[in-house]
Structure 1
Amino acid sequence: MYPASVDAPFGDQLEESTTKHKKRRNINMCYIIITTSNLVWFLCTLFASMLLITALVTPKWLIGPNAMAVPKLSGPLDNNALGGEFLDLGEKTHASEVRYPSVGIYTRCTVMHHQGYHCGAFDLDGFATDSTVYPNEWKATMFFLLLGFILLSITVLLTLVTCCRQSAFGKSLHNMTACAQVLAGISVLLSLFMHPLGWRAQRVQRLCGMEVEPFYLAGCSIGSSMYCASAGALLTFVAAALSVWAESSNLRTRVRRRVEEGNMLVCIP
């Protein structure tokens, strides 16, 4: 038997070693924390990115003033019937469909003689397309909007990572994600500012009239795509603000207690 004076230090060392082992095990284990604020933050970021990609690909930034009647065909396609006006096609035509010409960042919709109402891209060479066809201001719009969408898409993934990990490289993941979302929002705002600067282009003059000027649409109207981009920018800044709420919810006492109890999945409203 060892003396009591020897047993006591040995027992303290054993207890301290066991405590360190438990702490090390808790640190190495992966926890998933899901709270209401985390879920709202994720959904807001996801919805904002969906709005941005919608604004990016749809040709509805500007809507022309001249409505065109496009016939709906039920029979074989007749090239002579596709002229952008109402035609009497007998049994082949049920009714005419009213369409408005429109233009986006790199796409346009118009009535073509042999194709009817047609939507397609006009940036055939990308950013190298001639500026008379693809205005430089719209190239900048494309760049900043695409940059904002990429940054926001990355933060969608980061919002999921924050459910498992709170920090990286000694920095809060919530703060890093919020900064990326702010940069994405600023980039989208720059794209919204650059697009009207290209309204002097010949393409816009043919659509809206010769009186069109930057920030003055003449006969045209703003389309749904620009509203989507504006709403996406607003939601991006809202998501950045929600990151503070999400971080504080992960640090609540109830969450910490559940983690210390060894729960792998923590779901708290």
Structure 2
Amino acid sequence: MGLNTLKQSLRKYTSIKTVTPSEMESHWSDQYDLALLHNTIDVPNHILSNSIVYALQSVVNQLIRSPASQERLRTNKPLEIWCNTRSAENDLRRAGIESVTMYRPAPRFTLPTSYIPLPQKRRILWYYDSNHKFMISRLDDIKRTIRNIRDAEILTFPDVNPPVVQDNVSAIGRVQLQHWVPRVHGMVRISDRLDFGRSSFDVYSHGRWLLYHDMEEDFSFTRKYVAEMPSAVDELLATQTNSEAQSRFEDARKFDLETLAEVWESRVRWLIANRNC
């Protein structure tokens, strides 16, 4: 998977092999306690039933929309399904599939060492990538929303061009977020449901708020309808003070990679110990 959280959580195990799904059948044997499938269920049934499935957006949507996939899970139940957002867990539950949210910052993620107060200026980040496959369908919504926000400076990234030409909008391109996040109050992201960007952890770890469209996470704000987003930005800029921001900064300590590694390891060990219970 290439994840620090996975590598660290499994660091005490003596036999770990990384293979592609097509290679798994030939490599699988009784010496392995389980398989961890990264965003795929395309493996033989006897391996699926001995697996943790880490389901991202595409596999979550497959499980929600495909009765055949749902039936396969019922007859070849994985040890557990993990997903990277609470929204995905909620969607799976509505489809009758139980899962566990296991948040996953990027491997490069590091926590800031100290809290930096909010800037005086009303300034926000906006994640905008015109080529991102889960954002393309929302480009008109993004442009319409930004045009309705006139009294805050908007810094868009990582696209090198801004979504609209407007006095209060600038594109900063691909940047080191730890340099820019302290200069803003929060970040906005409008994209397809379940498209949760890992830059969110960088923003939240500095105590800045996150505003998503139609994503019900434990540590972000959301609005169901795009038309509500401009007023939500204004409300957050008006009401979120350094007190709330510092609380977010402290809460983000739980996303430290070593801390998450312990959570993952504990869960893996529990699943192995209780697999036949």
Per the shorter chain, which TM-score range?
Answer: under 0.3
Higher relative contact order (CA 8 A, sep 6+): 1
TM-score with structure 1 length normalisation? 0.26
Larger Rg belongs to: 1
Q: Hey, which of these two has a bigger chunk of helix by percent?
A: 1
